[in-house]
Chain A
Amino acid sequence: MSDDPYSPLVREYFAAPAHAGNLADGVTAGIGAQGVRVALSGSESDGRIRALRFRAWGCPHLIAACECFCRRYEGQPVGSLVAFRAADIMQILPVPVEKTGRILVLEDAVRSLGQRFGGTSAPN
């Protein structure tokens, strides 16, 4: 199994994505590109992200990346969303480099969500 294309973390997040779904009263952002689709919804309280949910159409790495993002960003300042970097998630899971384009779709969706919360643009 040494050439298993999926790490244990990818398998875990793909098999049981606890944050799959959407928040009926949340802020939403969705993007479709690179042959995949990602939709995020989030709610905030006192400047912090209270809850996050996602829906995704794509490969297991994309679905795991969405779940990973939700787990890591709940409770974080809303402003952190616009600084989200797909590269960080790709390193944690990890995601093979040839799938970078798909994970960048998640990055665009996260930043879009951050802007809808009223966050500032990401620093260059």
Chain B
Amino acid sequence: MADEIIYLDYAATTPVDRRVAELMLECRETRFANPASNHRAGRESAATVDHASRQLAALLNVDPATLVWTSGATESDNLAIAGGARYRAHRGRHLVTMPTEHKAVTDVFRMLEKQGFEVTWLAPDSRGLLDPDDFARALRADTQLASIMYVNNETGVIQDIEAIGSICRERDVLFHVDAAQAAGKMSMDLGVMPVDLLSLTGHKFYGPKGIGALYIADRPGCRVEPILFGGGQQQRIRPGTLPTDLIAGLGFAAEIAASRMDEDMRHLEALRERLVAGIRDVAGLLVNGDAEGGFPGIVNVSVDDIEGESLLLAMDPVCVATGSACNSRVREPSYVLRALGRSDRLAESAIRFSFGRQTQCEDVEFAARRYCDAVARLRELAPEAA
């Protein structure tokens, strides 16, 4: 087993489901025509896109017409936040978010700040949770848009989307949710949830990379201005030739996810329990996030006085993440963990374990032993602190 890779980085990306891959291959060979083309082959491609829209819509319990295909969650986040803020800029220029959001969200808000919007950055508690009362107090008469993620990609913390969304509805604030880590994994009924805009991506739930979607609720005042230009596709909200094979893959992945969501969740819960049992006796262990209430597919832990890069290499062949994958080539403490009040040293030692369908109990047990051994070895190797 030691020579095999133990992949515990499902929060970064998931393998494509074999059935999804087969469907995509078939699409590339038989439904390659441009779905915007007004001939028989084009109409067949368009029908494939429509079918995928219905599959994704069923997962979210929304009208297929409310879905816009994008290149992934990053583009969806950009379109929702920049497009939503600009659409409502004539009403006001105050926006609300958190510093613990994904960079695909925080960097858009920083860009908007440079363009004259005012952003309130709401601090989480030590677990990473946002108090809805704090959120309500941050809203102003000129607040037009708020963006709060569903499941944090580093810690697995789940925000109270229902409560925050309800406040937004009461105050007529456009509410965007980055659900990249939640879609296809957690049950969400957007037919009743107070969410206006929701971003997701296929590769987090066993679909292909390079395809995502933005849900735009069909209600007054809920619109976005396009951020891309060049064609009339998707009601000009997001122009560009639709990648039929990727869309078919995402749609099928959504259908599969819906059919086995409870089973997947029980599997993740069992894996989390086993991992935590295996590492809980490590001296100085600190769980980053909500130890009991978080998403069970992500466990993020730090330990005192261990250097993160050495810990990561000592874990080999267990593939885990330090910080978020988007930042992992830059050795700097996770900004998410720093926002939770962790010291640079604790943030640097953070390891994110994330599981998925293919993860076996023995993989997690191996990883737990590897983690314990690595911490013990690095502590043994370290000189006394001055």
State yes or no: do A and B come from one complex: yes
Binding site for B on A (CB under 8 A): 6, 11, 14, 17, 20, 30, 32, 36-39, 55-60, 63
* Inter-subunit contact B310/A30 (CB<8 Å): no
- In the complex, whether B118 has a CB less than 8 A from a CB of chain A is no
Question: In residues 285-336 of chain B, which contact A (Cβ within 8 Å)?
Answer: 305, 307, 309-310, 313-314
* Inter-subunit contact B386/A59 (CB<8 Å): no
* Inter-subunit contact A57/B309 (CB<8 Å): no
* Inter-subunit contact B313/A60 (CB<8 Å): yes
**Most-contacted residue by chain A among B307, B378, B382 (CB, 10 A):** B307
Q: Out of A11, A55, A58, name the residue touching B310 (CB < 8 Å).
A: A58
Residues on B with C-beta less than 8 A from A32 are 385-386
Q: Out of A11, A37, A59, A60, name the residue touching B383 (CB < 8 Å).
A: A37
Q: Out of A17, A56, A60, name the residue touching B382 (CB < 8 Å).
A: A56
The 21 sampled A-B contact pairs (Cβ below 8 Å) are A6-B313, A14-B310, A14-B313, A17-B381, A20-B381, A30-B386, A32-B385, A32-B386, A37-B385, A38-B383, A39-B384, A55-B381, A55-B382, A55-B383, A57-B307, A57-B378, A57-B381, A57-B383, A59-B309, A60-B310, A60-B313
Contact digits for B348-385, partner A, Cβ 8 Å, 1 yes 0 no = 00000000000000000000000000000010111111
User: Within the complex, what minimum Cβ distance (angstroms) separates A35 from chain B?
Assistant: 9
Decide: A60 near B381, CB < 8 A? Known: A32-B386, A37-B386: no
**Most-contacted residue by chain B among A11, A36, A59 (CB, 10 A):** A59
* Inter-subunit contact B386/A56 (CB<8 Å): no
User: Within the complex, what minimum Cβ distance (angstroms) separates B246 from chain A?
Assistant: 26
Decide: A20 near B383, CB < 8 A? Known: A59-B307, A59-B309, A60-B310: no
Residues on A with C-beta less than 8 A from B305 are 57
| In the bound complex, CA of A6 to CA of B312 (Å) | 12
* Inter-subunit contact B381/A63 (CB<8 Å): yes
Residues on A with C-beta less than 8 A from B383 are 30, 37-39, 55-57
User: Within the complex, what minimum Cβ distance (angstroms) separates A58 from chain B?
Assistant: 6
Residues on A with C-beta less than 8 A from B382 are 37, 55-57
User: Within the complex, what minimum Cβ distance (angstroms) separates A2 from chain B?
Assistant: 14
Residues on A with C-beta less than 8 A from B307 are 36, 57-59
| In the bound complex, CA of A30 to CA of B150 (Å) | 47
| In the bound complex, CA of A32 to CA of B314 (Å) | 22
| In the bound complex, CA of A17 to CA of B313 (Å) | 14
- Find the B residue at minimum CB distance from A11: B313
Residues on A with C-beta less than 8 A from B384 are 39
Residues on B with C-beta less than 8 A from A20 are 380-381
User: Within the complex, what minimum Cβ distance (angstroms) separates B264 from chain A?
Assistant: 31
Residues on B with C-beta less than 8 A from A37 are 382-383, 385-386
Residues on B with C-beta less than 8 A from A56 are 381-383
- Find the A residue at minimum CB distance from B309: A59
Question: In residues 173-191 of chain B, which contact A (Cβ within 8 Å)?
Answer: none
Given contacts A38-B383, A56-B381, 11 further A-B contacts (CB under 8 A): A14-B314, A17-B381, A20-B381, A32-B385, A37-B382, A56-B382, A57-B382, A57-B383, A59-B309, A59-B310, A60-B313
- Find the B residue at minimum CB distance from A3: B329
Per CB-CB distance, the 3 closest pairs between chain A and chain B, nearest first, are A39-B383, A55-B383, A57-B382
| In the bound complex, CA of A114 to CA of B117 (Å) | 60
Residues on B with C-beta less than 8 A from A58 are 307, 310
User: Within the complex, what minimum Cβ distance (angstroms) separates B105 from chain A?
Assistant: 28
| In the bound complex, CA of A59 to CA of B312 (Å) | 10
| In the bound complex, CA of A38 to CA of B383 (Å) | 7
Residues on B with C-beta less than 8 A from A39 are 383-384
| In the bound complex, CA of A1 to CA of B385 (Å) | 35
- Find the B residue at minimum CB distance from A37: B383
| In the bound complex, CA of A60 to CA of B380 (Å) | 15
User: Within the complex, what minimum Cβ distance (angstroms) separates A69 from chain B?
Assistant: 15
Residues on B with C-beta less than 8 A from A17 are 381
| In the bound complex, CA of A30 to CA of B385 (Å) | 10
| In the bound complex, CA of A30 to CA of B382 (Å) | 11
| In the bound complex, CA of A11 to CA of B314 (Å) | 10
| In the bound complex, CA of A10 to CA of B200 (Å) | 40
Residues on A with C-beta less than 8 A from B386 are 30, 32, 37
Residues on A with C-beta less than 8 A from B309 are 59-60
| In the bound complex, CA of A26 to CA of B334 (Å) | 40
Question: In residues 141-200 of chain B, which contact A (Cβ within 8 Å)?
Answer: none
Residues on A with C-beta less than 8 A from B310 are 14, 58-60, 63
| In the bound complex, CA of A38 to CA of B307 (Å) | 13
